[in-house]
Structure 1
């Protein structure tokens, strides 16, 4: 029986019924069959694009290839040319799903998926959310996301929310007065799950902690909370579990691909090997063994409208040593390749190192709500923060000492207190930015 969400996809010519049925068959494969399926699918998608996509032919340099490892790495810079020049034969902007990446990597671009590949993305979402008893057709979602602020964009998004059984809390203003209204909505609505940007959901949890409230006591229908798009720190997970009283699920995805990794009920960050193939590469494009840190490179196994073959998504991560081809597990997502701080000594450090160090000190008393770090010069950084009272000299000194210990001495910091922090157009908070 069709429900409103499935029906809305079907009416837009996204074959969700077929996609769900095909995904069920992939999920049911034995480990050896799954291995064979992945190899067959990799070969089929490359051959399709070499035959039907002039953009990809040009990138590879011929219509033939011998080894998978010889295929070029596709990056975001390659994709910053008109979409029409990247589409496969038979696909147009009219008969494909078209969208734009969020641009949180600093390199936004427009992409396409064929209608079947897009339906498969939704089937894969439904399958993974189903691990926690969530049904997109029936379960009501509390959505912590940005929203377009122009009239048409706003109305369109609200209509999509209605079809998808979601109530959206826009996250551009998260003052106490707004959080109070959110709380009232939870009191009067039978939400089954929360989903949205980590930083916004964490802010809501801090508000609850300050009020000494547990969310399930206010909204007992809640089952689970999925956080996405920004790093989930250990302390924040603990805070969310305590203040919400439900399991917290860590999600990692990309609009141009699919859900990439989704925490399963055993607590493993399981990679989607049904619609994607994920590799970890070193700087020479060599595949690294499980357990080693490198660039995350992803192949979309089904998208015929647009090639995403060995696509460098711009993130750094590690696959767990327990991974297998049919069940890879993401051990750690370290951050984006462009979020690296270069220090006066020549040392390179992930920007999130600053964030971890500063966070551990700033958060102890709960005064600081959120903060971001910006590198303005090789030895100079700005820390913008939102707090109830200004940081005092002792706190600032503690932060500087910790950074000296974890990174190196003689770095200069300017602390700037703000009422709100700047977010991307979609409402994401970029935790570290280098302007070098």
Structure 2
């Protein structure tokens, strides 16, 4: 029996909007879109456009709209639509995907599924922890125990999958991505942990890789915390698409077509088995920041099977890493959530180039346009800085007077930000 029930909530003008959307929606995702978590290529980089660098709650805001409840999931922007997850109640019993007009912020539609039982989470991780994904024809959203769902651009249901119960004391936070004709999902954390591919048109399971869980899903065999909240990252190797995903004990590269494990790199941390952020990749090097102030490591992605011996460098006792950084031109830019900082590392050696302290912690990920980076901290202040390995080069600080754990979306020259109370468009 399905654990969720689909309910429809729409704007009052939904009928009119649907008629209009038949004419304006449903195209392919374009180069100017930000179509899934950390952008269309899941690397934190905007493909085109010049973006604003200064704003406040009252200046350079094109529009802002209230959201029903707080959430850590980030917005995406596709074909003139802004999609974001939310919940309708503090217990997360009604979980929604909302669609807004990117030009004026008007709500186009809302689709909600309901749960009969409240699932556990941490107070810092409200429900609606995931980010939707779209290919320009459909949008997919992961509501954890409330299922995986696909809608067309007008909000019409296409398919739904009940994948079971996903229970963890800290809640969920991974996001689906779309690679070609399939949806790739990391289902962790909890007792049931798997990476799976689903047909984007039908929702059919194409393959599933189950990752061993050596504890109860919340603590490992040594009694230390465990879990994965990491979103997969697509790469190309020898003309084949792979996805790299950080699980609780190791990083995997899975063949997108078959689900076969291409290689794995074992991650051992004295702090527990925790993967919050996603791997970041440039060329043949992969960098991963283990959670709970665990180690940061870089390794070469060569060969097959166990490649743990290909570690290039490792740094212990790092800042808490929740959001995901970026690699640009041989340097790693990352964020800390205790100590609170922005940091630059040399990709080849791991040597710290510079550190910049910040008042608030960072839970969101870095977004980049050309050589300009955007990092929103938990106070809702977006720090804009120039990517430079020599020193921290500040451009602006932009407070919105509302807390945030989400990542900015950069699309068609505008920046879309999710705070606990609102969704914002900055121009």
| TM-score (normalised: structure 1) | 0.29
Structure holding more helix per residue: 1
Structure holding more strand per residue: 2
| TM-score (normalised: structure 2) | 0.30
